[in-house]
Amino acid sequence: MCGLLAYLSTDAERVDEQTVAGVQHALRCLRHRGPDDREVWSDPHAVLGFNRLAFIDIEGSPQPMPYAGDRYRIVFNGEIYNYLELREELKAAGATFATEGDTEAIVAGYHLWGEAVVPRLRGMFAFVIWDSQTGTAFGARDAFGIKPLFTARLADGGLVFSSEKKALLELLGGSDAAGGVDAASLQHYLTLQYVPEPATLHRGIRRIESGTSFTVVDGELHTARWFHPRFDSRPVAPGQEQALYDRIAEVLDDSVAKHMRADVTVGSFLSSGIDSTAIAALAHKYNRDLVTFTVGFQREATSEVEIAAESAAILGVRHVPVEVTAEEFAEAIPTVVWYLDDPVADPALVPLYFVAREARKHVKVVLSGEGADELFGGYTIYREPLSLAWASKLPAVGRQALGRLSRLVPEGVRGQDLLRRASIPLEERYYGNARNLNADELAQLLPGRDPDLSHVTVTEALYRQTREAGYDDVTAMQYVDLFTWLRGDILVKADKMTMANSLELRVPFLDPEVFALASSLPLEMRVPRRGDATKFALRQAMRQIVPPKIMNRRKLGFPVPTAEFLAGPLHDWAQTIVKDSQTDEWLDRDHVLGLLERLAQAEVPSKRIARQVWEVLVFMIWHGIFVEERIHPEVPEPVYPVRL
């Protein structure tokens, strides 16, 4: 888990002392990702910079790492969990190694197998390999997009890659030089609460997509998708259900065991749900001194602190809770947004920042439960196609009638939204877990919006793929989430908030072997037609791992009392943010202030309105930092953990 920065010239004479100095300076923007070591290497064609956060072969494996007599240099962010097995396979094929770590396994594999090395990597990764013999580069991101990689073209023609966007802004010379705010990306952000890949909020900076590899030849970037997720549901023979549950438990146990590989102490995040509890329980098998961490707010109704503490006591692990006040929450937001690079309007990322900060005082690595819902069918919204099955059988005229009827029912009346959604095809109604703004609300907030641009622009190709594959509606939703919600929200906040604190987060559910098994489950094993259960097979598998008292608890997921904060203790703070913002080019300031007042005046503040306001606030703070350069967050120097 580190920060990489790579400059690839289109002209052999381009790399000079000034170029190297520019990379060295921009690399400071990534110091939180790797405070253990910083190195810059260059030749006439390339400059590679690296900030290292060391976990495996701590004294060895420096980067940028040479291989094959200095033919190759690699910079790599992430962890390869099957590196020991790969090294043995490569040695048998004739490879030699000078280190004991996982980085050399990647470049040795590339030397012997070429691009075919990527599907063999079991882990999270973003890397760039420079081949000085051919003057070309090769790189890739992991299947799910756990580790980020941004790219841009500089004014001198050089192509640059970085673990974080802010380093590219430094090399480009600021927001204007990066093309300014991308109007389409802003509109998508306000709809989805994140900017979808491969775009960013700056026109001149893009992302290498998850599950994609790339080559750079003669200065030109060529990308190719190496990972194509497939859901291949297979029926389970009568009487074989328990064998399947046992297999799920076995595969997840193996994944956790491999994710525990490190030469430093590994801890685990712990919330109220079965996902993180299962991970912690399995991790405890391999580390009897496991420490778990959770976070909450000083409000009994939404805090996970007491629930997680009870779970930790049942599991028999040491537990460290963190509680956050409204004032601490507001004070941290500019710093949090600076670490984010692009706005993500998920309030849960703020408590995640705080719990990561506390965890870094105790450990250097934590495990977490991200990905279980997308792989095993855990979101409640996945039940919607089952509850609306009757509507899907109606002719188009029947669905249109439902839509007209829904408009006659007053907003907020029970059943109104069900009728509305029943009238809309899946491809139009589902685009992820965030549904903060409808078309009319967006038009009020964003007067210059493009009426022809919508979430369908982002998801239509994905839905076409699901139709070609013959997926049912629930599986289609899972597939869409892999390319939208998971990599756009869940994994961005996980990476950025932990790396902000020089802490590595590992996600055992997002493992190729776990996905292979989860993607083979029949629909009934994910979301049963009867009852209200989700991720049914995973729950059954975890019964032998997670204590019964924890198994059926309702998941909270680091909840944030956003509505109460914005209506009460943070109302004036939010009002100041809106009034000071220089975003009138994009947003209707009076409309936002009106929403804030509605929150303050309401007897019970609307969570929906609060989420809309929160989205705007995050963008305004981002704009104040990266565009106006008016807001200057206090970014602390990286801290080191207490040795356990």
pLDDT in tens, 102-118: 999 999 999 999 999 99
Tokens of 429: 């109604």
Q: How far apart are CA 214 and CA 229, in angstroms?
A: 18
Sign of CA dihedral 128, 131, 132, 134: negative
| pLDDT for residue 196 | 97
Cα–Cα nearest to 314, from 644, 632, 548: 548
Q: What is the pLDDT of residue 483?
A: 97
Peptide bond into 198 cis (omega under 30): yes
Task: Quote the CA–CA distance of 463 and 132 in Å, as a whole number.
Answer: 41
Calculate helix-pair angle for 326-340, 607-626, nearest 10 degrees.
Answer: 50
132 Rama class: left (phi>0) / alpha (psi -120 to 50) / beta: alpha
Task: Give CA–CA dist 42/221, Å, rounded.
Answer: 20
Cis status, amide bond into 64, omega within 30 of 0: yes
Q: Which of 206-215, 547-556, 591-600 bottoms out in mean pLDDT, i.e. has the lowest?
A: 547-556
Tens digit of pLDDT for each residue in 489-500? 999 999 999 999
Annotated active-site positions, please? 2
Average pLDDT on 628-644 reads 78
Identify which of 96, 54, 98, 106 has the alpha carbon closest to the alpha carbon of residue 75.
Answer: 106
pLDDT at 301 over 60: no
Would you call 41 helix, strand, or coil by DSSP? strand
**Considering only 430-434, 577-581, 589-593, which range has the smallest mean pLDDT?**
430-434
Residues 6 or more apart in contact with residue 338 via CB below 8 angstroms: 166, 625, 633, 635
The fold of 3-225 is Glutamine Phosphoribosylpyrophosphate, subunit 1, domain 1 (3.60.20)
pTM of this prediction? 0.95
Q: Residues annotated in the binding site for L-glutamine, as ranges?
A: 102
Q: Quick one: average pLDDT of 31-47?
A: 94
Question: How many Å separate Cα 324 from the centre of its chain?
Answer: 23
What tokens were used for 15? Answer: 């790399």
For the chain, what are the domain ranges? 3-225, 241-378+485-551, 380-482, 562-626
Average pLDDT over residues 510-518: 98
Strands 291-297 and 318-324, by their bridges, are: parallel
Residues 633/338, Cβ–Cβ less than 8 Å: yes
Mean pLDDT of the chain: 92
CATH number of this structure's domain 241-378+485-551, picked from the four choices 3.30.70.520, 2.60.40.10, 3.40.50.620, 3.40.50.170: 3.40.50.620
Q: Is the dihedral of CA 117, 123, 128, 130 positive or negative?
A: negative
* Dihedral angle sign, alpha carbons of residues 16, 17, 20, 21: negative
Which residue in 608, 615, 606 sits closest to 567, CA to CA?
606
Query: What number of other Cβ atoms are within 10 A of residue 74's Cβ?
Result: 25
* Cβ count within 10 A of residue 417: 14
Quick one: tokens of 603? 């007897």
Instruction: Scan for tokens 């029949």, then name that residue.
Output: 522
Residue 481 has pLDDT above 50, yes or no: yes
| Contacts of 141 by beta carbon, 8 Å cutoff, 6+ apart | 125, 126, 147, 148, 149, 208, 209, 210, 211, 212, 213
Alpha-carbon span 307 to 558, nearest angstrom = 11
Asked if the model's pLDDT at residue 11 lies above 80, the reply is no
What is the mean predicted confidence (pLDDT) over 454-462? Answer: 94
pLDDT tens for 537-546 read 999 999 988 8
Confidence of residue 303 (pLDDT cuts 50, 70, 90): low
CA 626 centroid distance within chain:
21
Place of tokens 């007067």: 447
Task: State whether the Cα torsion 580-488-329-336 is positive or negative.
Answer: negative
Distances (CA, A) of 288 to 44, 256, 281, 298, 315: 51, 14, 10, 30, 11
Cα separation, 14 vs 46, whole angstroms: 9
Q: What is the mean predicted confidence (pLDDT) over 148-175?
A: 96
Could you tell me how far CA 46 lies from the centroid of its own chain?
A: 29
pLDDT for 12 equals 62
CA atoms within 13 A on the CB side of 362: 19
What is the band of 392 on the pLDDT scale with cuts at 50, 70, 90?
confident
Strand order in the sheet with 123-131: 65-67, 72-80, 123-131, 136-141, 212-217, 220-225
* Structure tokens given for 223: 């990308």
Instruction: Return the DSSP state at 595.
Output: H
C-alpha 117/C-alpha 371 separation (Å) is 24
570 neighbors 562 (Cβ within 8 angstroms):
no
| pLDDT, position 239 | 93
Q: Which residue has the tokens 């023979």?
A: 237
Cβ atoms of 187 and 197 within 8 Å: the answer is: no
Q: What is the percentage of the chain residues whose pLDDT exceeds 70?
A: 96
Residues comprising the chain, all counted: 644
Cα 626 to Cα 166, 386, 553, 633, distances in angstroms: 9, 44, 41, 11
pLDDT above 90 covers a percentage of the chain that reads: 79
Q: Tokens for 604? A: 């019970």
Residue 121 pLDDT exceeds 90? yes
Which residues does 315 contact at the CB level (< 8 Å), separation at least 6? 277, 280, 281, 284, 292, 547
Residue 595: closest CA among 582, 611, 577 = 611
465: tokens are 């793929």
Q: What letter represents residue 187's amino acid? A: Q
pLDDT digits (tens, 9 = 90+) for 335-378: 999 999 999 999 999 999 999 999 999 999 999 999 999 999 99
Q: What is the pLDDT of residues 465-478, one digit of tens each?
A: 999 999 999 999 99
CB atoms within 10 A of CB 371: 25
Q: Where does the pLDDT of residue 644 fall: very low under 50, low under 70, confident under 90, or very high at 90 and above?
A: very low
Sign of the Cα torsion 410, 415, 417, 419 reads negative
Sign of CA dihedral 478, 482, 485, 489: positive
Q: Write the pLDDT tens digit of every residue in 170-193.
A: 999 999 999 999 999 999 999 999
The residues near 442 (Cβ < 8 Å, ≥ 6 apart) are 187, 190, 191, 449
pLDDT for residue 642: 45
3-state secondary structure 166-210: HHHHHHHCCCCCCCCECHHHHHHHHHHCCCCCCCCCECCEEECCC
Which tops the pLDDT comparison, 10 or 71? 71
Count other C-beta atoms under 10 Å from residue 263's C-beta: 13
The annotation places the binding site at 102, 295, 368-369
State both tokens at 385: 């196609």
Q: Are strands 72-80 and 46-52 parallel, antiparallel or unpaired?
A: unpaired
Q: Which two tokens stand for residue 322?
A: 């963190």
What is the SS3 assignment for 575? helix
Q: What is the pLDDT of residues 252-270, one digit of tens each?
A: 999 999 999 988 889 999 9
User: Phi and psi dihedrals of 362, rounded to 5?
Assistant: -120, -35
Residue that wins the pLDDT comparison between 644 and 328: 328
Q: Give the whole-angstrom CA distance, residue 271 versus residue 294.
A: 6
- pLDDT tens-digit readout, 74-100: 999 999 999 999 999 999 999 999 999
Residues making up the annotated binding site for ATP are 295, 368-369
